[in-house]
Chain A
Amino acid sequence: MAKVLMKGNEAIAVAALKGGVDAFFGYPITPQNEIPEYLSKHLLAAGKVFVQAESEVAAINMVYGAAGAGARVMTSSSSPGIALKQEGISYIAGAELPCVIVSVMRGGPGLGGIQPSQADYYQATRGGGNGDYQLIVYAPETIQETIDIMKESFDIADYYRNPVLVLVDGLIGQMMETVDFEKPVKKRFIPAKDYATTGTANHPGRNIVNSLFLDPVELEQHNLQLQKKYQQIKNNETKYEMINMENPEYVIVAYGTMSRICRSAIESLKEEGIEVGMIRPISLWPYPKAAFNEIPSGVKGILCAEMSMGQMLDDVMISDKGRHEIGFYGRVGGMVPEPEEIVDAIKNFKDKVVK
């Protein structure tokens, strides 16, 4: 397939089909509706499963059931809808089932707005479900990267038996770019799903999909086992990009849509003789803490830029371990900053640090 011009949300749907999705369960919410709309047509046409559920709560539990029965399953939603899915997500993580969840973020809190936002960083990386669990969270910055990550996410979810959350915002969902769906992605060996409930006629013994362990000893063991898996994910699946990091004076940390804006700002600042680098986390969990060890000496400060009031800022401070002055610039509520604002933010930060 040659390169095509496509809208972000539709590209997510096509990438899901390329990734081998068997079933989609979801509930309408702006700004992600093109995903279920596209899949409703194409999944059913391919003899696969599409169900528009009665709620996000029902949708995530359909995902739970279908994942437990061994299918490649996904759902998509936006901020308040993802909030509703938290219960099911915790169960899926607890029962160690694979699935892919797409979150197209909009402004909050509450019903908030429908314009692009990054205010669900905590929701994605800390989660709203109960218990010590983690989602694998990827936050791409272009539609091409979104496609590549979507395709790979089904394998990653299956490999680790863990939900993968693909976190974009309404801007990536709604804009158009030229993309290539055939770009190869990393392949993983996926063992047979011998845990799946397919009926005892189809496998030895009984398969039980469950997250209940009333015995505290067993539950602690289960948690330790999960932590072991999370450590493996940290070792293998952390993704990030370093931009203009040869000899910067300052370093920006930004992801997704915000990193696109910061790229332009970095170019403008270069023209003014101010060298600014960027750490762009692609995986928000696991967070690329190691990237902060690669910050060259001589860097005077780190500016964390987000379309939120400062959520990733926590991870920046944790990862930098107090080595640098840290500043923050954020816009919220669906306000997408211009590159000039980032340029000004760096200059203001520079003044502050120099003082």
Chain B
Amino acid sequence: MPKGKVYFEEDMCKGCSLCVSFCPQHILYQDKTTINKSGYNIIRVSEPEKCIGCAFCAMMCPDSVIKVEVDK
């Protein structure tokens, strides 16, 4: 299984949660306790080690705030 790492450009995020719902590993969640500059709840990774670098989150992000790196 390849290993991936996701980076969020937090302040550009609008908290739509599409990334959360399309993550096949179910490791993304919306942190209801933290808001960004625009007033949206930000997205966090619960178990980073489980990321497989599929980039589904980034593909589905309408605001291009997610960068994905992968270890091959």
Direct contact of A and B (CB under 8 A): no
Interface residues of A (CB under 8 A from B): none
Interface residues of B (CB under 8 A from A): none
